[in-house]
Amino acid sequence: MGKRINLNKMARSITLKEGGKVSLGIGQVKEVMKLTFQALALEDKEEVLKTLNRYRPKRGKCWF
């Protein structure tokens, strides 16, 4: 098993990156992440991996 993902750090990075007109708090982002993860957990693993790979940052373009 690999390194655990720090969801608090991820949520904070998302809030800083998002920077839209409507500011989302870390708690709100974590709630959206929870709902997203629950939806993904119901899907086929192969399809989830395809979806994640579609959004993988290009080399050297990681934002968090």
pLDDT of residue 64: 58
3-class SS letters over 2-42: CCCCCHHHHHHHHHHHHCCCCCCCHHHHHHHHHHHHHHHHC
**What are the residue boundaries of the structural domains of the chain, listed by start?**
7-54
pLDDT of residue 63: 60
pLDDT of residue 22: 65
| Nearest-angstrom CA–CA distance, 57 and 63 | 8
pLDDT, tens digit, 9 for 90 and up, residues 4-48:
989 898 888 888 887 766 677 889 999 999 999 999 999 999 999
pLDDT of residue 40: 96
- How far is the first Cα of the chain from the last one, in angstroms, to the nearest whole number? 22
Q: What is the mean pLDDT of residues 40-59?
A: 92
Band (56; pLDDT cuts 50, 70, 90)? confident
